[in-house]
Amino acid sequence: MTASETAGPPPSSRAWFAVAGAIFGTFMALLDVSVTNASLPQIQGEIGATGTEGTWIGTGYLVAEIVIIPLTAWLTRMLGLRNFLLTAAILFTIFSTLCGLANSLPQMIVGRVGQGLAGGAMIPSSLTIIATRLTDKQRPLGLAIYASVAVFAPVIGPVVGGWLTENLNWHWLFFMNLPIAVVLVILLLVGIEKARPNWLELEKADWLGIPGLALFLGGLTIILEEGQRENWFDSPLITWLSLFCAIGFILVMIAQFTSPHPVVKLKLLLKVSFAAVFGIMLLAGAGAFTLLYVVPVFLGTIAGYNAEQTGQVAMFTGLATFIMMPLLMVLMARVDIRLIVGTGLLLFGIGCLSNLDLTVMSVGHDFTLALLINGAGQSLVGLPLSQAATTGLNEQDIPDGTALFSMARNLGGSLGLALTGILIDRRSAFHVEQLGQATTANGIAGQERIARIAGGMMNGGADPHVATMRALRTIAGEVQRQALVMSYVDGFWIMGFALIFAIPLVFFLKRPTGAGTAMAH
């Protein structure tokens, strides 16, 4: 027996340890995207943050994550994959602890930004490890596990967060990462071989593109997250960020033509098949993140659900993904990838259009079928696209390809949330005006409704004037709720047809060579 054979597990076993470690890291990073959503009121109360300031607890994480994702290829080349992921895991643990111990908003934001930087570093690394360490026969299973985690982790985040906050306290939203990180470090130590850092990468680094990318992606994400709340260009913050964002984009584009090793290879987007993958993933990310936002908000504001109840409904998306995985692995070995992704986009779109009959009386079970269809559609899109993202790329381009692929999902999510916020605000105002005109107090129907509500209050002993005022407020509140539901329906309508109209993009995808091949190098 040779020394190499006694050094550790056989290559195939060691590869699975590496995959397990990377996917553990991805799970931890994606879970923390949404784990604080249900607990923001409690966190804000203890650290003395207002509602507007508290939004930075989520925004800081997303900004850091989307900035670091494209840098992972360069950082991996410089530090080595093992050192890079171990550093990320340790930093994630440190910053999670800082968040758990935070007693002020600045501490919390520093901790969340640190979490985002470390967590975002681990997401594209999973796809890189699956692409380069597993055999052609093993990759579909590795991708299936990755896709399940990518869908399921953000979905269960609010459930886990709500349960921990209700039964323990919000500090455990962050302390729970400590045992996960210990398992992650062990898996990485066993699964990935040692490699010396290549500090020459610092000399060859794209020192024009790196700050440019940070300015562009960081500024764009904050603009999309905060623009609606800040009333867009009426805000000096949004105006200055837009300027920085433009400067960053110019720097990145200059670096593409002047640097021998640009920090992110945007030239990969010149490949028609990869550009199609990027575009579809951008749209799918927008749809997935928007659903993750709209359904819980609807259930919380319209149906009166608490965090745990909302999470239990949202989990149907993840359930459908798990159910689809065994079938999807068979399909990927036998069916043209373009047909699979096209069917996924169609199902995803149909799932959105299934919500067009929502009313103010809708509750959790009214979303069940739509979420199951959405989950099935997302799995049919996400897993094959993970495969297609590196098909036809040279092995040295795979880290850049997976980074761009992961960036597309997050950037699409930010775009989707921003556009959804704009749509809901503007369409809600439009519907309020339309409904207000239809229910005016000068109309017969309006007068009858006011009289009926006021009469009930007066029967309970209320003063006639007070009863009339309360009746008017009741009707105004009902109009607001109706308008809000109608604006959500508008959003589902637009999203559903956007996904269906994107189906022709699948014809540009490149089919992997060989049956069952997950990624061609």
* Most confident by average pLDDT, 15-19, 93-97, 138-142, 360-364: 93-97
Task: State how far the alpha carbon of 393 is from the alpha carbons of 22, 206, 242, 269, 512, in Å.
Answer: 21, 21, 34, 11, 11
Measured between its terminal Cα atoms, the distance across the chain in Å is: 31
Q: Do 155 and 276 lie in a common domain?
A: no
Q: Do 157 and 19 lie in a common domain?
A: yes
pLDDT at 124: 80
Give the mean model confidence (pLDDT) for residues 491-519.
76
- Do the domain assignments include residue 105? yes
Burial of 391 from C-beta contacts in 10 A (0-12 / 13-18 / 19+): buried
On the question of pLDDT at 5 being above 50, the answer is: no
On the question of pLDDT at 28 being above 60, the answer is: yes
CA 217 to chain centre: 15
Contact residues for 426 (Cβ-Cβ < 8 A; gap 6+):
none
Alpha helices (H) along 389-463: 398-438, 444-459
State pLDDT tens for residues 334-343.
Answer: 888 899 999 9
CATH number for 327: 1.20.1250.20
Q: Do 462 and 402 lie in a common domain?
A: no
- Report the distance separating Cα 186 and Cα 18, nearest Å: 10
Q: Find out whether 174 and 97 touch, Cβ atoms under 8 Å.
A: yes
Last residue of a domain, one of 171, 186, 205: 205
**Residue 520 binned pLDDT confidence (cut-offs 50, 70, 90):** very low
- Do the domain assignments include residue 1? no
Give the mean model confidence (pLDDT) for residues 398-422.
81
- Do the domain assignments include residue 279? yes
Q: Do 375 and 520 lie in a common domain?
A: yes
From the list 383, 282, 405, the residue with the least C-alpha distance to 326 is: 383
Q: Do 450 and 384 lie in a common domain?
A: no
On the question of pLDDT at 155 being above 80, the answer is: no
Q: Find out whether 63 and 218 touch, Cβ atoms under 8 Å.
A: yes
- Do the domain assignments include residue 2? no
Question: Hey, what are 397's tokens?
Answer: 């381009």
pLDDT at 357: 87
Q: Rounded mean pLDDT of the chain? A: 79
**Amino acid residing at 479:** V
On the question of pLDDT at 348 being above 90, the answer is: yes
- Report the distance separating Cα 500 and Cα 349, nearest Å: 6
Last residue of a domain, one of 262, 289, 304: 262
Give the mean model confidence (pLDDT) for residues 384-405.
79
- Do the domain assignments include residue 177? yes
**Rounded to 5 degrees, what angle do the CA atoms 291, 151, 136 make?**
145
On the question of pLDDT at 445 being above 90, the answer is: no
Domain tally for the chain? 4
State pLDDT tens for residues 216-274.
Answer: 888 887 887 777 777 777 888 889 989 999 999 999 899 888 888 787 788 888 888 88
Q: Do 132 and 240 lie in a common domain?
A: no
Q: Find out whether 433 and 504 touch, Cβ atoms under 8 Å.
A: no
Domain that holds residue 462: 429-487
Q: Find out whether 79 and 59 touch, Cβ atoms under 8 Å.
A: no
**Residue 467 binned pLDDT confidence (cut-offs 50, 70, 90):** low
- Do the domain assignments include residue 24? yes
* Higher per-residue confidence, 225 vs 64: 64
Helices 464-501, 337-353: inter-axial angle, 10-degree rounding:
170
* Higher per-residue confidence, 214 vs 394: 214
Give the mean model confidence (pLDDT) for residues 15-28.
85
* Most confident by average pLDDT, 29-38, 289-298, 356-365, 447-456: 356-365
Give the mean model confidence (pLDDT) for residues 145-161.
78
Tokens 């960053």 -> residue: 248
Q: Do 318 and 333 lie in a common domain?
A: yes
**Residue 69 binned pLDDT confidence (cut-offs 50, 70, 90):** confident
- The predicted model scores a pTM of 0.75
What whole-number percentage of the chain has pLDDT above 90?
Answer: 12
